[in-house]
Amino acid sequence: MPMHILTLTCWKFSLKFRLFSGENLRVAAWGAVERIEIGGTHISMAVNGRELYCCEHECADHHGALELVLETLAHPEYGVLEGGGDITAVGHRVVHGGTRFSRSVVIDPSVRASIRALEELAPLHNVPNNKGIDAAMELLPTVPHVAFFDTAFHQTIPEHVHLYPLPYAWFEKYGVRRYGFHGPSHYYLGRSASALLGKEPEQCNLVTVHVENGMSICAIRQGISVDTSMGFTPLEGLVMGTRSGDIDPGIPPYIMQKLNITPQEVDAILNLKSGSSGIVGRMLSRRRLLEAAMDGDRRCLLALELEAYRLKKYIGAYLAVAGPVDALVFSAGISDREWLPRQLALEGLEAMGVTIDLTANRTVHAAPGLPDIAVPASRVRVFVMPTDEELVIAEDVRGTVQGGVPVSSAAGGPVGA
């Protein structure tokens, strides 16, 4: 029977899935269940060579949503598990692994307890991640379930980098330190860039930029993460779609007094009503923000300029941290208009060895086979490529189940949980 690995990413009101089949991990299907718990729930599933399948079906919780996914994958008419094939293993994306997990692990009662204990460090993420794990282990009790941690790739960050200049007891008692996130994306971008450079990952120094509604940057030296912009939570770092990124820590208590709001309320504002959305004054998708900025919307353009300026500062710092750098690597994002913030962020970095071809930067989305947008004379190559976090998770699941060693840990970073 062929191997079928199902990867799951669960958020508060949604569940994203992808099914990989065979030893070459061919993508058999991918999709999402949206609006879980809040009504109007629907599933969409894409299969190469077929029309997009969509169906409305109310799901009161993640258990019902995953049950719908499994029924859809196995459906005799529009499913992909031919002949009633079974799921071989499930990979669960878990955002926060704390300091315990530096690699993917098979989920057992001890691992489940540890993930649940970490909910207070990432309540917006680990809580729905745990709901997905609970549902999957109940619906698929006989197959191995593997947890892939966003934070694991960054466990190689040195102590003097991951510590904050705060009372040391906060680190000892409460785990206050830099953890970093978007691990599978930075890992994928780093390994792909190494292949383009014709080098082993351990021979490469890179700066990788994950571009999406949530953004982060990572300094990779000799194949391992040595610094990253997200910290104790995903709130720190770059300007994002709804997250503020770095701000003066004196602002929250000041605003709490002025508006007479609670810590929970100011935390919600910083996570859900700040970033580009805060500057624009309304929540926009990444695609719509870029379109509006290019159409001349002053506030949208201002938001992009603020985002690009912050990114430029981080790139400059990380070129120094990871240097001498072989390549700067951007994930492609979700819009062909990502060329604008890239151009704004990279302008003026010629003295640091980064010189881009403006035409190549604008057209790279139309020519995915030519990801290098740097001019030939640029000392640092600049790659733009799609990221593939789910593939990294699936490879780790296969490695963990078959050989006991996750691929991402074997290729770089400490092994051990």
Pairing mode, if any, of strands 105-106 and 89-94?
unpaired
Alpha carbon 78 to chain centroid, angstroms: 30
Residue type, 251: I
CA–CA gap between residue 35 and residue 62 (Å, rounded): 10
- Residue 408 near residue 392, CB atoms below 8 Å: yes
Q: What contacts 196, CB < 8 A, 6 or more positions away?
A: 327, 371, 372, 381, 383
Distance from C-alpha of 222 to C-alpha of 210, rounded to nearest angstrom: 19
Alpha helical stretches, state H, 198-246: none
Edge-first strand order for the sheet with 14-21 is: 53-56, 42-46, 26-34, 14-21, 4-10, 89-94, 145-149, 105-106
Q: How many other CB atoms are there within 10 angstroms of residue 130's CB atom? A: 19
- Residue 150 annotated to the active site: yes
Across the beta sheet with 205-210, the strand order is 224-228, 216-221, 205-210, 327-331, 381-385
Could you tell me the two tokens for 175?
Answer: 């785990």
Give CA–CA dist 395/392, Å, rounded: 5
What sign for the dihedral angle of Cα 31, 32, 33, 38? negative
Query: Comparing C-alpha atoms, which of 328, 359, 360 is closest to residue 345?
Result: 328
Distance CA 177, CA 160 (A): 10
CA 151-220-189 angle, 5° bins: 75
The active-site residue out of 86, 108, 134, 150 is 150
Cβ atoms 325, 205 nearer than 8 A = yes
**Cα separation of 3 and 243, whole Å?**
39
- In this structure, what are the phi and psi dihedrals at residue 384, rounded to the nearest 5 degrees? -125, 120
- Helix pair angle (286-294, 298-322), 10° resolution: 110
DSSP 119-171: GGT-TTTHHHHHHHHHHHHHHSTTS-EEEEETTGGGGGS-HHHH--SS-HHHH
Q: Which residues are catalytic?
A: 150
